[in-house]
Amino acid sequence: MKPAAFDYHRPATLAEAIDLMERFGDSAAAISGGQSLVPLMNLRLSPSDQLVDVSRLAELQQTRDLGDSVFLGAGLTHAMFEDGAAPDPANGLMRQAASHIAYRAVRCHGTIGGSVAMADPAADWPAVLLALDAAALVRGPMGERRIAMDALLTGTYTTSLETGEIITGFEVPKLPADARTSYVKFNRKVGAFASSLAVAVRQGEALRLVLAGAGPRATLLAATAAAFIAGAPKTSVRNTLAGEVALIVEADDPYACALHIATILRAIEEIS
């Protein structure tokens, strides 16, 4: 189980990395921690034969206080969040999520930016960042742009990143102290990808409810959130939720629906 041959590049600057990514186009892959990409390469399931190592770029390691939000570099590892070495503007939600990603050695290398760029439908960071209404900062041949998480995630392993673009980090809004968050993951064993992941972020009358592990990408459940905030009776919230989940879950799968309903209801319970 060894990867196909590839060329390895380790640009010294972000600009150089973007040049390489643009030059090689679809055959290029950026690698930082490599904890999701390398398994695919070892299985020869990755089409890239130009590997651009961005793991040492200082720009991706930064954190900055932006006032209402915090900039978190794409190269920060899960373990940095788990250990409190990276700021958590979400009152502990990011730390909680980080500590439940895969295994310790993987968390020591896997990065928040890599996880989002990989866009696995069951991954933690896309769901958490979507629930936090974060935005990705992206640098590419045409300069920098800011993409809201909802616009970044387009499908299973796909994002709206253009050729040559690299996620440099995320702007994550600071949650007020009285905000409530919950993170409910159901998986077959500790460290396995989520069979269902529910994340809720509530600030007073604003609730963002996200489901991952269902359908092609993490999804906002706006109708359910609205029904809950409006004070709808439990059965009615549940029915709205069932309706939203049914739209996401592929084919006729009562178990999957029941599972997602269960994790979301628990996430709601925790922020009630």
Partner 1 sequence: MFVADVRLPGLQDIAFVRSGVAHGRLLSVNKPADDRERVFTIDDFDDLNVLEAGPELEAFRQSPYPALASGKVRYVGQAIAACVATTRARAEDLAERVEVEIDELPAVVDAVAAMQPGSPRLFENWADNAFIARTISAGDLNLFSASPMRLKRRFRMNRHATVSLEIRGVVAHWDARLEELVVHLSTQGGHVMRLGLARALGLPENQVRVIAPDVGGGFGGKNRLLPEEIAVCAIALKVGHPVRWIEDRREHLLASVHCRDHHYDLTVCFEPDGTLLGIEGDVHIDAGAYALWPTGSFMEASMAAGNLPGPYRMKALRVNTFTVATNKAPMGPYRGVARPGACFAIERMVDEVAQHLGIEPYEMRKRNLVKRTEMPYVTVAGLKLDTGDYHDSLDTAAKMIDISAIRRRQKERKPGEPRVGIGFAVYTEQSGHGVVEWSKRKSRVVPGYESANVRMLPDGSVNISVGVQNHGQGHETTLAQIAAHELGIDPSQIRIRYGDTATTPFGFGTFASRSIVFAGGAVGVTSRRLAEKIRLIGAHLLQAAPESVRIENGAVLSDSGSVGFGEIARAANIRQEMLPEGMEPLLEFTGTYEPKESAGVFSYGTHAVVVEVDEATGGVKILDYAVSEDCGTMINPMIVDGQVQGGISQGIGTGLYEEIPFNADGQPLATTFGEYMMPCATEIPTVRIAHSVTPALVTEYGVKGVGEGGAIAPPAALANAVADAFRDCKASFNETPLTPRRVWEAAQAAMTRMEAAAETRA
Partner 2 sequence: MKMTEISVRVNGVAMKSSVEPRTSLADYVRETCGLTATHLGCEHGACGACTVLVDDVLTRSCLKFAAMCDDRHVTTLEGLANDPLTDLLRQCFHESHALQCGFCTPGMLMAARDLLRRNMTPDEITVRNALAGHICRCTGYSGIVHAILLAASRLKPDD
Q: Which does 186 bind (CB under 5 to 8 A by kind): partner 2, partner 1, none?
A: partner 1
Burial of 239: CB neighbours in 10 Å, binned 0-12, 13-18, 19+: middle
Contacts by residues 146-155 (CB-CB < 8 Å, ≥ 24 positions apart) = 146/171, 149/116, 150/220, 152/116, 153/119, 153/126, 153/217, 153/218, 154/119, 154/217, 155/119, 155/216, 155/217
Binding segment for partner 2 (CB under 8 A), chosen from 130-138, 178-186, 189-197, 240-248, is 189-197
| Interface positions, 169-188, toward partner 1 (CB under 8 A) | 186, 188
The 206-212 sheet, strands edge to edge:
180-187, 194-203, 206-212, 219-220
Q: Pick from 53, 106, 180, 193: which binds partner 1 (CB under 8 A)?
A: 193
Binding string, residues 227-266; x marks residues near partner 2 by CB under 8 A: ----------------------------------------
Burial class (CB in 10 A: 0-12, 13-18, 19+), 116: buried
d(CA 66, CA 207): 23
Nearer to partner 1, 27 or 42 (CB): 42
Q: How, if at all, do strands 50-53 and 7-9 pair?
A: parallel
Judged by CB, which is closer to partner 1: 108, or 226?
108
6 binds, among partner 2, partner 1, none (CB under 5 to 8 A by kind): partner 2
216 scored as a contact of partner 2 (CB under 8 A) = no
Within 75-94, which residues bind partner 2 (CB under 8 A)?
A: 83
Closest CA to 55 of 94, 9, 97: 9
**120-179: contacts with partner 2 (CB under 8 A):** none
Contact track, partner 1, 34-73, x by CB under 8 A: -----x---xx-----------------------------
Binding site for partner 2 (CB under 8 A): 1-8, 10, 31, 34-35, 38-39, 41-43, 51, 53, 55, 83, 102-106, 108-109, 189-191
